[in-house]
């Protein structure tokens, strides 16, 4: 039986041969530049690659516990393979002048035919070295831990996703509710704009009324004042001649005064009506929320609808008669209520 020193010596010799094989590049064995296209070893490149790969894997294994006899066997196989590759590296036409093609093919075929022997002899040691160098128990524990972590993360992710989904649903519901609440009130801006327009017009008409009033008074005093100072000196024809043209102007100014005053009153009337509709829409949601039963809500809706759609006096026509659409509005509201239910 071999001693430990013999095993270590044999292992060093095996490592040396394996290092020599590991240093060989399969592409360098083709030798197209030296041998030409017809005599190179390109046909044996697949055999070279798998053989060198097998012994390269063996060189990367831990062979410290391999017995002496096995090391001797592996050393013999590796040496044989190294000899084949050295012959390929040194192959030349001068060495085989009779038939270099057959000599080349013979080298390739010898390596190819020995593949089964090499594989069955080397792979068990590679497998054992890999198994020995791998802590499968640790890998299994890590795999189980990773699986448990993935399950926990998946559960947390699902919980978080459901939570986020619920928050999104709540936010969407709040947005819908806010939109529904603002749906009625937001239309108050139309009546606000209309009320502001009529308010401005009323101020313009008020200014026109004041101007017409001042113009009428000033013109009357300016045109009739000198003649009224001495009525005894004025004859009737002269008085008619003086008064009639001036009365026409005063009548026109008075008509403008009355027209401006009536337009001022109509504008103020429309301003008040539109401001009332604006306030009705703005306060609609407050009364609806404060109502506890559907009947009260319907009544509030009916009143708000009437305040919006019911025709009002325009203010431009005196004693204007407007039809009452109360029954039509009631039927419309009832139809909407029945459709929703």
User: 223 and 170, same structural domain?
Assistant: no
Q: What is the pLDDT of residue 299?
A: 72
Token couple for 17: 């041969």
Whether 200 and 300 map to the same domain: the answer is: yes
pLDDT of residue 181: 54
Statement to judge: residues 20 and 104 lie in one domain: yes
Which regions in the chain score pLDDT beneath 70?
Answer: 1, 132-140, 175-187, 224-236, 238-239, 241-243, 284-294, 297, 300-301, 304, 306-341
Asked if 161 and 122 sit in the same domain, the reply is no
Q: Is residue 279 part of a domain?
A: yes
Q: What is the DSSP string of 47-111?
A: HHHHHHHHHHHHHTS--TT--HHHHHHHHHHHHHHHHHHHHHHT--TTT-SS-HHHHHHHHHHHH
Q: Which of 134, 169, 203 is the last residue of a domain?
A: 134
Same domain, 182 and 164: yes
What's the structural domain count of the chain? 3
Boundary-marking domain end, from 155, 186, 217:
186
199 plus 109 within the same structural domain:
no
Note whether 254 and 224 are within 8 A (CB): no
Do residue 16 and residue 130 come from a single domain? yes
Contact 326, 298 (CB under 8 A): no
Domain of 246, in residue numbers: 190-336
pTM, two decimals, is 0.42
CB of 280 closer than 8 Å to CB of 307: yes
Q: Is residue 226 part of a domain?
A: yes
Q: Are residues 219 and 268 in the same domain?
A: yes
Angstrom distance (rounded) from CA 146 to CA 257 = 94
Last residue of a domain, one of 148, 166, 186: 186
- Cβ contacts of 265 within 8 Å, gap of 6 or more: 315
Q: Which of 183, 130, 187 is nearest to 307 (CA)?
A: 187
306 belongs to a structural domain: yes
Instruction: Answer yes or no: do 116 and 152 share one domain.
Output: no
Residues 201 and 156 in one domain: no
Taking the C-alpha atoms of residue 269 and residue 314, their distance in angstroms, rounded to an integer, is 8
Q: In the prediction, which pLDDT does 340 show?
A: 47
Residues 316 and 196 in one domain: yes
Both 83 and 145 in one domain: the answer is no
Query: How far is residue 222's CA from residue 246's CA, in Å, rounded to a whole number?
Result: 10
Q: Is residue 341 part of a domain?
A: no
Supply the DSSP string of 105-151, one letter for each residue.
HHHHHHHHHTHHHHHHHHHHHHHHHHHHH--HHHHHHHHHHHHHHHH
**Would residue 76 count as lying in a domain?**
yes
Give the tens place of pLDDT for each residue, 189-234: 777 888 788 888 888 888 888 888 888 888 777 776 655 555 555 5
């Amino acid at each position: 039986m071999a001693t430990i020193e013999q095993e270590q010596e044999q292992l060093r010799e095996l490592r040396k041969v394996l290092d020599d094989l590991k240093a060989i590049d399969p592409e360098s064995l083709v030798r197209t530049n030296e041998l030409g296209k017809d005599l190179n070893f390109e046909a044996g490149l697949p055999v070279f690659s798998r053989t060198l790969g097998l012994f390269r894997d063996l060189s990367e294994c831990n062979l410290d516990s391999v017995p002496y006899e096995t090391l001797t066997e592996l050393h013999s196989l590796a040496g044989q393979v190294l000899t084949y590759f050295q012959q390929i590296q040194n192959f030349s036409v001068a060495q085989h002048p009779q038939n270099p093609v057959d000599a080349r093919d013979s080298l390739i075929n010898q390596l190819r035919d020995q593949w089964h022997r090499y594989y069955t002899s080397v792979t068990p040691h590679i497998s054992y070295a890999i198994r020995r160098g791998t802590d499968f128990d640790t890998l299994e524990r890590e795999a189980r831990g990773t699986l448990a972590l993935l399950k926990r993360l998946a559960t947390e992710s699902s919980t978080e996703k459901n939570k986020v989904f619920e928050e999104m649903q709540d936010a969407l519901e709040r947005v819908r509710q806010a939109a529904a609440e603002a749906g009625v009130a937001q239309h108050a801006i139309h009546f606000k704009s209309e009320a502001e327009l009529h308010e401005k017009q009323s101020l313009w008409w008020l200014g026109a009324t004041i101007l017409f009033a001042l113009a009428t008074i000033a013109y009357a005093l300016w045109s009739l004042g000198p003649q009224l100072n001495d009525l005894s000196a004025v004859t009737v024809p002269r008085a008619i001649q003086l008064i009639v043209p001036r009365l026409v102007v005063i009548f026109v100014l008075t008509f403008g005064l009355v027209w401006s005053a009536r337009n001022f009153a109509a504008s103020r009337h429309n301003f008040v009506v539109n401001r009332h509709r604006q306030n009705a829409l703005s306060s609609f949601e407050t009364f609806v929320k404060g109502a506890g039963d559907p009947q009260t809500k319907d009544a509030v809706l009916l009143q708000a609808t009437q305040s919006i759609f019911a025709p009002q006096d325009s203010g431009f026509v005196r004693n204007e008669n407007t039809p009452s659409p109360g029954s039509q509005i009631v039927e419309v509201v009832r139809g909407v209520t029945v459709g929703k239910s």
